[in-house]
Amino acid sequence: MSDHQMMTYAEFGEAIGRSAAAARAICVRKRWKRIVGNDGKAKIAIPLEVLEKPRKPRPNARPVDPPVDDADGQPVERADARSVDSAVESADTLTVVAILREQVARLEEDLERTRTDLDEARAALEAERVRAAQVEVLTVLLEIERKRAEEAQEAGARRVEEVQEASNRRIEDLKAERDRWAAQAERLATPAPPERRGFFGWLRRA
C-alpha cells in the first residue's frame, strides 16, 4: 500500500486548511517529491501521516492573512502571500529550468548519436557506391574482353578456312602438274613406230 498521496498545491492547501501558496511553501521546505503531469499540473507526493494528522484551530490567526505553518503545525518565517508566491514560483522556475536543462542535455546526446549514426551510414553508402562503380567497370572490361575473344575466334576461323582453301588449291595444282608430267613421261617411255621405207620414201630422200 502506498504511504503517500499525489495532490496538487490547491488540494493540499484545502486539506490542511491553508492557501495554495502556503501549501507550496510547505512542499518546497519539506522537499517532497514533485511530478509534473502531461496536463502541465504539478502534483506532490504528500505523506499520509501528514494528511491524517488532526488540525488544531488557531484562535489568534488573522482571517485575512493567516500565518503560514508547515504540515506539522510548526510556524515558519513570516512572509506575506506575495513573498511566499514569489519564493515558490522561483523554486518552481528553478526546478523547471533544471528539468529543461536535463532534457536539453539528453536531446543533445541523442542528436550526437544520431549524427554519428548518420555519418556511419553515409560512409557505408559511399563504400557501397565505390564497390558498385568497381563492379560496373569490371563488367564493362569483361564485356570488352568477351567481344575481343569472339572477334579473335571468328578471325581465327576465317584464317583456317582461308588456309584450307589455299591448301586445297595448291593440292589441285600439284595434282594437275603431276598428271602433266606423268603424261609426258608416258609419251617418252612409249617407243616410236619404225619408219616405213618404200618407193616414196626413197623418193623423198632423193
Q: What is the CATH number of the domain that holds 26?
A: 1.10.10
Dig out the grid coordinates for 14 from the structure.
Answer: 484545502
- Do the domain assignments include residue 55? yes
Evaluate whether residue 98 is within a structural domain.
no
Q: What pLDDT, on a 0 to 100 scale, did the predictor assign at position 198?
A: 57
Note the pLDDT of residue 45: 92
Q: What percent of the chain has pLDDT over 70?
A: 73
The pLDDT assigned to 64 comes to 44
The answer as to whether 17 is a domain residue is: yes
| Sign for the pseudo-dihedral over CA of 144, 150, 152, 158 | negative
Which grid coordinates are listed for 53? Answer: 494528522
- Give per-residue pLDDT as tens, 96-110: 777 788 888 889 888
Asked if residue 59 is part of any domain, the answer here is yes
Q: Could you read off the pLDDT of 28-72 as tens digits, one per residue?
A: 898 999 988 888 888 999 998 888 876 655 544 444 445 555 555
| pLDDT band (50, 70, 90) for residue 8 | very high
Spatial CA neighbour of 70 closest among 102, 95, 93, 47: 47
Q: β-strand 4-7 against 34-36: which pairing, if any?
A: unpaired
Rounded distance between C-alpha atoms, residue 181 and residue 58, angstroms:
158
Distances from the Cα of 128 to the Cαs of 122, 135, 137, 140, 142, in angstroms? 10, 10, 14, 18, 21
In this model, does residue 20 exceed pLDDT 80? yes
Q: Which residue has the cell 493540499?
A: 12
12-20 contacts, C-beta under 8 A, 24 or more apart: 12/44, 12/46, 15/46, 15/51, 16/50, 16/51, 16/55, 16/71, 17/55, 18/66, 18/68, 18/69, 19/66, 19/81
Instruction: Give a yes or no: residue 162 inside a domain.
Output: no
Instruction: Please state the pTM of the whole predicted model.
Output: 0.32
Q: Which of the two residues, 168 and 71, has the higher pLDDT score?
A: 168
| Count of domains forming the chain | 1
Residue 87, in any domain of the structure: no
Sign of CA dihedral 168, 172, 175, 177: negative
pLDDT value of position 1: 60
Residue 133 lies in a domain: no
Could you tell me the residue range of the domain that residue 46 belongs to? 1-79
Residue 30 lies in a domain: yes
